[in-house]
Chain A
Amino acid sequence: MRDKSKMNEMTNPRPRRSDDGLGPNSDIGAKLRAYYGTVQEEPIPEKFLDLLEKLDQAEDKPATPPKGN
């Protein structure tokens, strides 16, 4: 039901306020987003996906708490 546009928000920050000096014309803003984007665009590490699967499976067996905590 939820639309996919939510996911796009994360990679495309909303238009910036004109007064924060971090907008499209800002050198600092552009560098900041380039730096952040470098990490954000990396593939999600396998271990995160594994963890998510483990958490999800543990959910089906409520008596067993997730491991590694």
Chain B
Amino acid sequence: MTAETPSFKRELLATLPSLRAFAVSLSGKHDKADDLVQDTMMKAWAKQSSFEMGTNIKAWLFTILRNEYYSQMRKRGREVQDSDGIFTERMSVHPSQYGVLDLEDFKKALDSLPDDQREAVVLIGASGFSYEEAAEICNCAVGTMKSRVSRARSRLQDILQVSGEAEYGPDAVSTQVTTLPHL
């Protein structure tokens, strides 16, 4: 029993960065997301005997966090969208190929999606889950997950006024072969 603890702890630790990114994507706010992650850690720790080592701990933790998020939302009601500024602040010290404003716009667009579509597109597009895993986490059918992702993607494309294909990235050259370049 106790022999499992160090391993569980290590795996929990290894999953934290991704779990936290999921929490921020869900709640839209860093402070709220961190509370959510802490609650998840305590719940997971208390329930660790029900977790089978060697199975997908990441999916297990994401499921706990998601359930925690919705149960808290039901209690409080979703708060008015209020960008906390932390994202912009942090972005300025983490320059990437995208500008700060560009990602701020993306965050706003993502926040404007219905909850089920937002979580779907994040789990599939960024967290690295398969449709089957994501469907299990969200307790829905695989087909439902696919249609949520698809609707989320179209809506994001509409809001951000972008095409489905990027004009940069590792496959930019091969992309130009099959699509019309931006003029």
In this assembly, does B112 line the interface, its C-beta being within 8 Å of a C-beta of chain A?
no
Are B98's CB and A34's CB within 8 A?
A: yes
Closest to B163 in A: A27
- Which of B87, B121, B166 is in CB contact (< 8 Å) with A30? B166
Interface residues of A in 1-52 (CB under 8 A from B): 2, 6-7, 9-14, 16-17, 20-22, 24-42, 44-45, 47-49, 51-52
Report the interface size class on chain B: 35 or more
| Residues of A with C-beta under 8 A to B5 | 56, 59
Which residues of B approach A to under 8 Å, CB–CB? 2, 5, 7, 9, 11-18, 20-22, 24-25, 30, 34, 37-38, 41-42, 45-46, 58, 87, 90-91, 94, 96-98, 102-103, 106-107, 110, 121-122, 124-128, 130-131, 146, 149-150, 153, 156-157, 160, 162-171, 175
Are A21's CB and B164's CB within 8 A?
A: yes
Which residues of A approach B to under 8 Å, CB–CB? 2, 6-7, 9-14, 16-17, 20-22, 24-42, 44-45, 47-49, 51-52, 55-56, 59, 66, 68-69
Could you say which of B2, B107, B124 has the most chain A C-beta atoms within 10 Å of its C-beta? B124
Chain B proximity of A35: nearest CB distance (Å): 5
Are B128's CB and A69's CB within 8 A?
A: no
Task: Please classify the interface of chain A as helix (H, G, I), strand (E, B), loop, or mixed, using the class held by over half of its residues.
Answer: helix
8 of the cross-chain contacts (CB-CB < 8 Å) are A11-B18, A16-B125, A27-B167, A28-B160, A30-B169, A35-B25, A38-B96, A51-B38
